[in-house]
Amino acid sequence: MSDALRVVTIDGPSGGGKSTVSRGVAAKLGFTYLDTGAMYRAVGYACKQNNTHLDHPAALSDLLRDLRIELRPAVNAESDVQVFLNGVDISATIRTTEMGMQASRVSALPEVRRYLTRLQQQIGAVGEVVAEGRDTGTVVFPDALWKFYLDASPEIRAGRRAAQLRDRGEQVDEQELLKQIIQRDQDDSQRAIAPLKKADDAIFIDSSSLSAQEVINTMVKIIAEKAM
**HEC profile of the chain:** CCHHHCEEEEECCCCCCHHHHHHHHHHHHCCEEEEHHHHHHHHHHHHHHCCCCCCCHHHHHHHHHCCCEEEECCCCCCCCCEEEECCEECCCCCCCHHHHHHHHHHCCCHHHHHHHHHHHHHHHCCCCEEEEECCHHHHHCCCCCEEEEEECCHHHHHHHHHHHHHHCCCCCCHHHHHHHHHHHHHHHHHCCCCCCCCCCCCEEEECCCCCHHHHHHHHHHHHHHHHC
pLDDT of residue 2: 45
Query: What is the average pLDDT across 173-199?
Result: 90
> What number is the average pLDDT over the span 212-217?
96
The model carries a pTM of 0.84
pLDDT of 150 strictly over 80: yes
Residue 68 pLDDT class (50, 70, 90 cuts)? very high
* Res 77: pLDDT: 66
Q: What is the residue-averaged pLDDT of the chain?
A: 90
Residue-level pLDDT at 15 = 83
**Average pLDDT estimate for 189-201:** 89
**Would you give the DSSP letter of residue 81?**
P
What does the pLDDT average to over 101-126? 91
State the residue range of the domain holding 189. Answer: 3-227
Percent of the chain, pLDDT > 90? 66
Segment 50-59 shows an average pLDDT of 91
The pLDDT value given to residue 10: 97
Q: Give yes or no for residue 70 having a pLDDT over 60.
A: yes
What's the pLDDT score for residue 97? Answer: 84
The domain that holds 68 is classified in CATH as 3.40.50.300
What is the count of structural domains for the chain? 1
Q: What is the mean pLDDT of residues 1-11?
A: 74
Position 38 scores a pLDDT of 93
Tell me what the mean pLDDT of segment 88-99 comes to: 92
Mean pLDDT of 67-85: 85
